Amino acid sequence: MALSPGDPSSYSRPDIVKTTHIHMDWDINFQEKVLSGTCTYHLTKVDPSATSVLMDVRDLDILSIKLENTGEELKHNIDRDTSFGSRLEIALPSDCSKDFRILIKYSTTAKCEALLWMEPNQTSGGVHPFVFSQCQSILARSMLPCQDTPSLKATYSASVTAPKDINVLMSAIRKEENQPVSDDKVKFSFEQKVPVMSYLIAIAAGDIKSKKIGPRSHIWSEEKYLEMAAFDFSETEKMLQTAEELCGPYVWGIYDILVLPPSFAFGGMENPCLTFVTPTLLSGDKSNSTTIAHEIVHSWTGNLVTNVNFEHFWLNEGFTKFTECKIMGRLHGEPYRHLLGIRDWPSLEECVNKNFGANHPLTRLVPDLKGVDPEDAFSVVPYQKGQAFLYFLETTVGGASEFEPFLKSYYDKFKYLSISTNDFKEYFLEYFASCEAVKTIDWDTWLYSPGMPPVKPNFNQSLAIPVYDLAGRWRKWSVDTSVACPFNEEDIASFNPIQTMEFLNSLFNGEPLTLLAIEKLTELYKFNESPNKEILYRWIRLGLKLQFEASAKSAVDLVTEVGRGKYVVPIYKDLYAWPEKRQLALDNFEATRFKLMSSARNDVAKALGIKE
Ligand code: BES
Ligand code: ZN
């Protein structure tokens, strides 16, 4: 079955007939765990000779397809032939006008990978059920029939009914107060006037409350997280303003944050008007609000200037990571920005050298995704290698004073469009045509060679030096614990949380500590009790590497409590690699897999050698 020439992950052909607007008329049914209703598609023939419309679908029950103005049923055909969905071909009548609308009546099924349905006992309130979606990269097609390619952008509107007492949110502006439609149902209406890619269509429903945290921002979440999130994300407005200085005007109106239940598999997701985040960001020390900066930046990189397909995903994530760190630098000083880069570098090394292998084609900045599910290609490579490339380009053109104005003009030039790496490259070369140093850039190695980046950013080490000093002293003491223990709680008192994370990175990546040393370290610094999951996670992995019993217990607790892929996948992998804990890992996954989102569940299953 021929795939779209422009997108190896989609069957749709917006170059022949394109969607300009979708209206969803949905009902949320928690009993059946289905989302059902009718979607109206505003379509335009790009090619006047078009005789059919192609869309992506996956595990949907299509009930009828009609032309809106005549009510005529349209013949359609679904080919079920790939691991990432099916091709829906809808035949058009011969007299179909250039602009027309069709209605598709359908329902999601139990196999829907975009939605996670939770029973009341899986929520913190315990009374009401909860459901939320995650469509990136190519799961929108399991929530609604659509042209599921980021090369296309369309506006959307929605009218959603849900049981009363349930609050419904979408990645859009809520139109008016909810309306009762019967004794036990209410209706919510939404509108997204900025054209968006299918993967940005998002919905969440549950016992969700809100708290205002800024002139254009609210926190939304179950009661449990509301105050904590308002504290941890109190810098949101400052971040938005800094992002606007760097990137241009914010076009989305509001910027709200939805704190999801712990099953959410990602740190954050840049759904427009409403970033989705994991509650694992809440630490009481604000240090994980870098993820908020990250999702804010996507309001330009990704949501305005968009990768044309997921081979060019680094245009979304590399630019976002780079700018996220710039915002943190503006807020907390340049050394802090560099410390973030230092902290995240080992995750790139682990990914490239250990998980994939340095020659693996998926370690290229621009991979070939023909026949590869983008979910399988997902890694830190587009983030970290992309960020390293932008660091390199910034240095090459003479620093931030030259590069930042370029970035701003690049966002302005390509806003509302979907582009490829080549569009970026051409504009960069045009903008810096008179810069001699630009001629020396080895584009092919950076973009298409596998392995670690050819140049490592020259990070300022000032905040890392005291961290390495302490880690070095621990390693030294670890080899001769006969001398009195020279450490105390105060050693790390002056570290900020990112420094503490880098301290644990350093111990993890250096000469292994003895069991006695990690026991003492745990007793003194109490990392096992840290409310900051980034710290707890690093302490757990350090312990698992040393086969420290207490870490195995914390590891199982963490992967049972939270479903964030960044934590559960490596931890399950580590437990699996420890022969005495392998069965425990397998049993725990079996017992708790229902709590995980499809992406995390598939990745853990793979890590545990389970064939799904
Ligand atoms: N857009 C991503 C999340 C994503 C990517 C979901 C691909 C599904 C497929 C989001 O912006 C992101 O990058 N999240 C990171 C946050 C981070 C790098 C600060 C995450 O979830 O860890
Ligand atoms: Zn991102």
And the tokens for 167? 């609050």
DSSP letters for 70-128:
T--B--EEEEEEETTEEEEEEEPPTT--SEEEEEEEEEE-TT-SSEEEE-GGGSSSSSS
- Whether 267 lines ligand 1, by a CB cut-off of 6 Å, is yes
Structurally, the chain folds into a number of domains equal to: 4
In degrees and rounded to multiples of 5, residue 559 shows phi and psi of -75, -15
CA of 325 to the centre of ligand 2 (A): 12
Domain presence at residue 485: yes
Q: Report the residue among 294, 297, 562 best suited for mutation to probe ligand 1: largest number of ligand atoms under 8 A from its CB.
A: 294
The CATH number of the domain where 182 resides is what?
A: 2.60.40.1730
For residues 67 and 144, membership in a common domain is answered with yes
- Whether 299 lines ligand 1, by a CB cut-off of 6 Å, is no
Strand pairing class (85-91; 76-82): antiparallel
Task: Give the ligand with the smallest distance to the CA of 319.
Answer: 2
For residues 321 and 419, membership in a common domain is answered with yes
pLDDT at residue number 1: 45
For residues 316 and 277, membership in a common domain is answered with no
pLDDT (average), residues 288-298: 99
Domain end point (choices 163, 197, 231): 197
For residues 490 and 431, membership in a common domain is answered with no
- Whether 294 lines ligand 1, by a CB cut-off of 6 Å, is yes
Q: Report the residue among 266, 307, 345 best suited for mutation to probe ligand 1: largest number of ligand atoms under 8 A from its CB.
A: 266
pLDDT at residue number 43: 98
- Whether 322 lines ligand 1, by a CB cut-off of 6 Å, is no
And the tokens for 275? 């970033």
CA dihedral 493, 498, 502, 508 (to 10 degrees): 90
Domain end point (choices 448, 479, 507): 448
Residue 4 has pLDDT above 70, yes or no: no
Tell me the residue length of the chain. 612
For residues 500 and 416, membership in a common domain is answered with no
pLDDT (average), residues 241-249: 98
Residue 358 has pLDDT above 90, yes or no: yes
Task: Give the ligand with the smallest distance to the CA of 113.
Answer: 1
Q: Which domain holds residue 254?
A: 208-299
Are 181 and 169 in contact, with CB atoms under 8 Å apart? no
The protein residue whose alpha carbon is closest to atom 2 in ligand 1 is 269
Which atom number of ligand 1 is nearest to the Cα of residue 313? Answer: 7
- Whether 378 lines ligand 1, by a CB cut-off of 6 Å, is yes
DSSP letters for 51-67:
-EEEEEESSEEEEEEEE
Task: Give the largest Cα separation in the chain, rounded.
Answer: 90
DSSP 355: I
pLDDT digits over 134-145, tens only?
999 999 999 999
For residues 159 and 57, membership in a common domain is answered with yes
pLDDT at residue number 443: 98
Which atom number of ligand 1 is nearest to the Cα of residue 290? Answer: 19
Task: Give the ligand with the smallest distance to the CA of 278.
Answer: 1
- Whether 355 lines ligand 1, by a CB cut-off of 6 Å, is no
In degrees and rounded to multiples of 5, residue 380 shows phi and psi of -80, -5
The CATH number of the domain where 272 resides is what?
A: 3.30.2010.30
pLDDT at residue number 104: 99
Are 220 and 210 in contact, with CB atoms under 8 Å apart? yes
The protein residue whose alpha carbon is closest to atom 14 in ligand 1 is 268
pLDDT (average), residues 337-358: 98
Residue 3 has pLDDT above 60, yes or no: no
Domain presence at residue 126: no
For residues 212 and 154, membership in a common domain is answered with no
CA of 564 to the centre of ligand 2 (A): 14
The CATH number of the domain where 443 resides is what?
A: 1.10.390.10
pLDDT at residue number 6: 85
CB-based neighbours (< 5 A) of ligand 2, an ion = 317, 320
And the tokens for 206? 């549950």
- Whether 295 lines ligand 1, by a CB cut-off of 6 Å, is yes
pLDDT at residue number 81: 67
Q: Nearest to residue 301, comparing CAs of 237, 246, 371?
A: 246
What proportion of the chain, given as a percentage, has pLDDT over 90? 97
- Whether 564 lines ligand 1, by a CB cut-off of 6 Å, is no
pLDDT digits over 195-232, tens only?
999 999 999 999 999 999 999 999 999 999 999 999 99
d(CA 107, CA 38): 9
> Is the pTM for the entire model greater than 0.75?
yes
Which atom number of ligand 1 is nearest to the Cα of residue 266? Answer: 21
The protein residue whose alpha carbon is closest to atom 20 in ligand 1 is 267
pLDDT (average), residues 116-133: 96
pLDDT digits over 561-572, tens only?
999 999 999 999
And the tokens for 31? 């009993």
For residues 147 and 16, membership in a common domain is answered with yes
pLDDT digits over 577-591, tens only?
999 999 999 999 999
pLDDT digits over 44-64, tens only?
999 999 999 999 999 999 999
pLDDT (average), residues 15-43: 98
| Residue spans of beta strands (DSSP E) within 374-464 | 417-419
What proportion of the chain, given as a percentage, has pLDDT over 70? 99
pLDDT (average), residues 418-434: 98
**Rounded alpha-carbon distances, angstroms, from residue 12 to 54, 88, 346, 508:** 5, 8, 38, 46
The protein residue whose alpha carbon is closest to atom 3 in ligand 1 is 269
Are 382 and 364 in contact, with CB atoms under 8 Å apart? no
For residues 424 and 542, membership in a common domain is answered with no
Q: Report the residue among 269, 299, 599 best suited for mutation to probe ligand 1: largest number of ligand atoms under 8 A from its CB.
A: 269
CA of 319 to the centre of ligand 1 (A): 13
Question: Which residues, at least 6 apart from 143, have a Cβ–Cβ distance to it below 8 Å?
Answer: 35, 108, 112, 114, 115, 133, 135, 201, 203
Domain presence at residue 264: yes
For residues 539 and 417, membership in a common domain is answered with no
pLDDT at residue number 277: 98
Residue 284 has pLDDT above 70, yes or no: yes
Domain end point (choices 197, 225, 248): 197
Which atom number of ligand 1 is nearest to the Cα of residue 302? Answer: 1
Per the prediction, the chain carries an average pLDDT of 97
CA of 608 to the centre of ligand 2 (A): 27
Q: Nearest to residue 201, comparing CAs of 113, 261, 141, 264?
A: 141
Which atom number of ligand 1 is nearest to the Cα of residue 378? Answer: 7
| Residue spans of beta strands (DSSP E) within 129-184 | 130-133, 154-163, 167-170, 173-174, 179-182
Domain presence at residue 125: no
For residues 326 and 438, membership in a common domain is answered with yes
- Whether 566 lines ligand 1, by a CB cut-off of 6 Å, is yes
Domain presence at residue 124: no
- Whether 269 lines ligand 1, by a CB cut-off of 6 Å, is yes
Which atom number of ligand 1 is nearest to the Cα of residue 321? Answer: 18
- Whether 150 lines ligand 1, by a CB cut-off of 6 Å, is no
Domain presence at residue 127: no
pLDDT digits over 492-537, tens only?
999 999 999 999 999 999 999 999 999 999 999 999 999 999 999 9
Task: Give the ligand with the smallest distance to the CA of 597.
Answer: 1
**132 strand-pairing partners:** 116, 204
The CATH number of the domain where 491 resides is what?
A: 1.25.40.320
For residues 569 and 444, membership in a common domain is answered with no
- Whether 270 lines ligand 1, by a CB cut-off of 6 Å, is yes
- Known catalytic residues? 295, 383
Domain presence at residue 120: no
Domain presence at residue 174: yes
